[in-house]
C-alpha cells in the first residue's frame, strides 16, 4: 500500500524559516562553544562571521555558470535563482576559518567548536527542504513514500519527464530523502555528544563530524533523484559524482583521524593579554564592506542572516574598543556610567527638552544601509474573465546613505530640525512573461534637504529629493520602474511622542525611501510611558510592504540605532492591480549626536 501523505508546497516560507533557524541555532552553538573553550570572544566572533560569510557565498559559487560569471564580471544581475549547494559552502568556509584564525591568533582547536554545526544545521535545513519540495528523492512504492502537489519541483519534473500527465493532482510517491538525511544528522549529533570526551587529539571531533556527514550523504544519494540538484551530476559505475566525492572525503577523514589520534596532539589555550587589536577592526570592516558589494547576487534571507552575525560581532567590537580606551582601574566605574546613561539619560532622535530650562542645540551625523526585494505580477483578462497574459516584475536593490542635521530645542517637547541626506545605490529589475527584459542595472543617487518642526502634539516636515531616483511604479507597462530627478518630501505627526501617536510620511525614510518605501503610514508609542527620550516603537504599512516594524533604540547620550524591517504584500500594490505582490525590506541606521550646547 502506497502512502497517501501529500506535501503542500503552495504555502511559501518553509525553506526560509528553517534556513534562518539553522543559522540562528548554529550561531548560538558556536558562541556557547567559544565560551566553554575559553576562546577570546572578539577573535572568535570574527571567526564565526568569516565562516558564515564564506559558507553562504560557497553555497552559491558552485552553482554559477559561465554566463553567470560573465554577468558578475560586468556588474549585472543574474536574473534568476542559481540554487544552493551545501557542500560548496562547507568546502569554502573551512579554509577561510583556518586562515582567519591565524590572523586573530586563535588556537587550532577552533575546528572542534564547529563539530556540531554541520549535523545540527543540516538537521534543520533538510526539514525545510522537505517542506519546500527541493532536494527530493526517487520514485518508490514503499509505504513511507510521500507525494507533492502541482506547485512543487517534483511534480513539474515528473510532468516534463513524461512520468505523469499534466492533469495529475499529485506527483508519484517518492522517497522522503530529505528526512532520511535530517534524522541521520540528528542521530550522529547524539553520537558526537557521547564520544566528544573520548577523543585524544584537538580537531578530531570536527573531522569525525565531517566523516559522519559524508557517510550520511553517500548513503542518501542512492535515494535522491538525479533531477534534484542545483548543478549537473554525472554517474560512473552506478555512483554519482557526489558519491565519488564523498568516498574521497570519507577516506581522507579516516586517514586524518587515524594520524591525529595516534599522535595525540593536544594544545593548551593561552588567553590573550590584549584581546583587542586594530587589525581586528580593519579586517572586520574590510570583509563587511566586501560582503555588502557581493550581496546583490544573494537573496534577502541570506543577506539577513549574515547581517545579523555581522551586527552581533560589530556590537561586541564596540564593547572591546571601549575597554581598550579606558584605564583598567576606572573600567568598572566607566561601565556603570554607561549603564546609568542607558537607563536614565537615553535619548531618541530628535530628543526632547524636558522643560523650558533644559533646552539645548546639537548636531547629528547618521549613516545607514538598506536592501530589499519585491516580486510583482500583472494579469490581463478578456471580457469573460479568462487570463490572457501575465507579466512578472522582480526587483532587488540596495543603498547606503549619509546624513547631517542640526536640532534646536525651542521649548519643552518643542524643536526645529534641518539637514541634508545623501544616498546612492543600485536597483535591478527582471521582467518575464508577456514582456521579457533584463534591463541594465540602475544606478540611483539623491540629495535630500529637509526641515521639520516638532511640537508636543503635532509635527510637520517638508523637503525634497534631487538626483536620479528609481521608484517601483503602481502602473507598469513595459517596466514597473519610474525615474525621478525631483520628488517632494512631506511628514505629519498627530499625538504625543511620549505616549501614543500616528504618522504619515512621503519620501521621508532614512537611509532612503526609494525605490520601495516612498509612502508610509504608522502608529507608534514610547517604550517608557511619559518619555520619548527612552525610545519609541513604530508599526505600519508602506508602498512595497504590508507591514513594517521600526524601533528607535537609544544607546546612551550620543548614539541612536534605528533598525527597520518590512515584509508581506502591500495593500497599495494590490489596490493598483497587481495580482501578486510580496516584498522584503531591511535597513539599519546609526546616528551620533555631538556638539551639544545649552540654550538660554
Confidence band of 349 (pLDDT split at 50, 70, 90): very low
| Same domain as 133, residue 36 | yes
Asked if residue 344 is part of any domain, the answer here is: no
Asked if residue 352 is part of any domain, the answer here is: no
| Same domain as 521, residue 395 | yes
pTM equals 0.58
Cβ atoms of 265 and 202 within 8 Å: the answer is: yes
Tens digit of each residue's pLDDT (9 = 90 or more) over 24-81: 889 889 988 888 888 888 888 999 999 999 998 988 888 888 888 887 877 776 666 6
Among the ranges given (40-49, 149-158, 213-222, 394-403), the one the predictor scored with the smallest mean pLDDT: 149-158
Average pLDDT over residues 364-380: 86
Check pLDDT > 50 for residue 345: no
Asked if residue 20 is part of any domain, the answer here is: yes
Domains in the chain, number: 2
Asked if residue 503 is part of any domain, the answer here is: yes
For residue 496 the three cell numbers come to 504625543
Range of the domain at 211: 6-308
Secondary structure string (H, E, C) spanning 45-68: HHHHHHHHHHHHHHHHHCCCCHHH
DSSP 464-533: EEEEEEEEE-SS-SS-SEEEEEEEEEEEEEEE-TTSEEEEEEES--SS--TTT-SEEEEEEEEEETTEEE
| Same domain as 426, residue 301 | no
Confidence band of 213 (pLDDT split at 50, 70, 90): very high
| Same domain as 561, residue 450 | yes
User: What are the residues facing 393 on neighbouring strands?
Assistant: 376, 431
| Same domain as 81, residue 196 | yes
pLDDT at 222: 92
Backbone φ and ψ of 546, nearest 5°: -75, -25
| Same domain as 74, residue 214 | yes
Asked if residue 321 is part of any domain, the answer here is: no
Of the three residues 242, 276, 308, the one that is the final residue of a domain is: 308
pLDDT at 530: 61
| Same domain as 377, residue 302 | no
| Same domain as 291, residue 195 | yes
| Same domain as 261, residue 367 | no
| Same domain as 250, residue 368 | no
Asked if residue 62 is part of any domain, the answer here is: yes
pLDDT at 385: 47
Higher-scoring residue by pLDDT: 337, 224: 224
Q: What is the mean pLDDT of the chain?
A: 81
Which CATH number belongs to the domain containing residue 486 in this structure? 2.40.128.130
Average pLDDT over residues 119-135: 88
Amino acid at each position: 500500500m502506497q502512502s497517501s501523505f501529500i506535501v503542500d508546497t503552495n504555502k511559501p516560507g518553509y525553506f526560509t524559516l528553517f534556513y534562518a533557524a539553522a543559522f540562528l541555532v548554529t550561531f548560538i552553538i558556536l558562541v556557547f562553544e567559544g565560551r566553554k573553550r575559553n576562546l577570546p570572544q572578539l577573535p572568535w566572533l570574527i571567526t564565526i562571521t568569516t565562516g558564515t560569510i564564506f559558507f553562504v557565498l560557497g553555497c552559491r559559487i558552485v552553482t554559477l555558470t559561465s554566463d553567470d560569471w560573465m554577468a558578475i564580471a560586468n556588474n549585472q544581475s543574474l536574473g534568476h535563482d542559481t540554487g544552493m549547494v551545501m557542500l560548496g559552502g562547507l568546502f569554502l568556509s573551512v579554509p577561510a576559518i583556518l586562515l582567519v584564525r591565524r590572523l586573530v591568533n586563535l588556537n587550532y582547536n577552533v575546528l572542534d567548536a564547529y563539530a556540531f554545526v554541520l549535523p545540527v544545521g543540516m538537521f534543520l535545513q533538510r526539514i525545510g527542504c522537505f517542506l519546500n519540495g527541493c532536494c527530493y528523492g526517487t520514485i518508490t512504492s514503499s509505504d513511507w513514500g510521500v507525494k507533492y502537489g502541482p506547485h512543487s519541483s517534483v511534480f513539474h519534473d515528473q510532468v516534463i519527464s513524461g512520468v505523469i500527465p499534466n492533469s495529475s493532482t499529485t506527483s508519484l510517491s517518492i522517497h522522503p530523502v530529505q528526512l532520511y538525511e535530517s534524522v541521520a544528522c540528528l542521530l550522529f549529533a547524539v553520537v558526537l555528544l557521547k564520544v566528544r570526551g573520548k577523543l585524544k587529539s584537538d580537531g578530531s571531533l570536527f573531522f569525525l563530524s565531517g566523516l559522519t556527514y559524508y557517510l550520511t550523504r553517500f548513503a542518501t544519494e542512492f535515494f535522491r533523484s538525479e533531477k534534484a540538484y542545483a548543478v549537473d551530476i554525472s554517474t560512473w559505475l552506478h555512483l554519482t559524482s557526489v558519491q565519488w566525492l564523498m568516498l574521497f572525503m570519507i577516506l581522507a577523514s579516516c586517514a586524518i583521524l587515524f594520524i591525529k589520534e595516534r599522535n595525540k596532539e593536544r594544545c593548551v589555550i593561552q588567553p590573550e593579554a590584549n584581546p583587542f587589536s586594530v587589525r581586528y577592526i580593519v579586517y572586520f570592516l574590510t570583509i563587511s564592506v566586501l560582503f555588502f558589494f557581493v550581496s546583490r547576487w544573494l537573496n534577502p534571507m541570506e543577506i539577513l542572516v549574515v547581517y545579523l552575525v555581522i551586527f552581533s560581532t560589530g556590537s561586541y567590537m564596540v564593547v572591546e574598543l571601549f575597554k581598550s580606551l579606558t584605564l583598567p582601574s576606572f573600567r568598572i566605574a566607566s561601565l556603570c556610567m554607561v549603564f546609568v546613561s542607558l537607563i536614565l539619560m537615553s535619548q531618541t532622535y530628535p530628543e526632547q527638552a524636558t522643560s523650558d530650562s533644559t533646552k539645548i542645540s546639537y548636531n547629528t551625523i547618521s549613516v545607514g544601509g538598506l536592501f530589499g526585494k519585491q516580486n510583482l505580477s500583472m494579469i490581463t483578462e478578456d471580457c469573460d474573465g479568462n487570463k490572457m497574459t501575465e507579466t512578472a516584475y522582480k526587483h532587488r536593490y540596495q543603498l547606503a546613505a549619509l546624513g547631517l542635521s542640526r536640532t534646536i530645542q525651542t521649548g519643552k517637547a518643542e524643536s526645529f530640525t534641518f539637514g541634508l541626506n545623501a544616498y546612492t545605490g543600485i536597483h535591478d529589475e527582471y521582467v518575464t512573461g508577456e514582456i521579457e527584459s533584463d534591463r541594465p542595472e540602475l544606478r540611483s543617487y539623491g540629495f535630500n534637504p529637509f526641515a521639520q518642526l516638532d511640537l508636543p502634539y503635532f509635527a510637520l516636515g517638508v523637503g525634497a529629493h534631487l538626483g536620479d531616483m528609481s521608484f517601483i511604479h503602481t502602473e507598469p507597462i513595459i517596466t514597473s520602474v519610474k525615474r525621478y530627478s525631483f520628488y517632494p518630501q512631506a511628514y505629519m505627526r498627530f499625538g504625543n511622542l511620549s505616549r501614543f501617536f500616528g504618522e504619515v510620511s512621503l519620501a521621508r525614510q532614512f537611509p532612503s525611501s526609494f525605490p520601495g518605501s516612498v509612502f508610509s503610514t504608522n502608529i507608534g508609542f514610547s517604550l517608557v510611558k511619559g518619555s520619548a527620550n527612552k525610545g519609541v516603537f513604530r508599526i505600519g504599512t508602506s508602498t512595497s510592504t504590508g507591514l513594517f516594524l521600526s524601533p528607535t533604540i537609544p544607546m546612551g547620550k550620543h548614539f541612536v540605532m534605528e533598525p527597520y524591517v518590512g515584509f508581506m504584500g502591500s495593500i497599495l500594490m494590490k489596490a493598483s492591480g497587481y495580482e501578486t505582490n510580496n516584498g522584503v525590506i531591511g535597513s539599519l541606521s546609526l546616528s551620533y549626536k555631538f556638539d551639544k550646547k545649552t540654550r538660554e
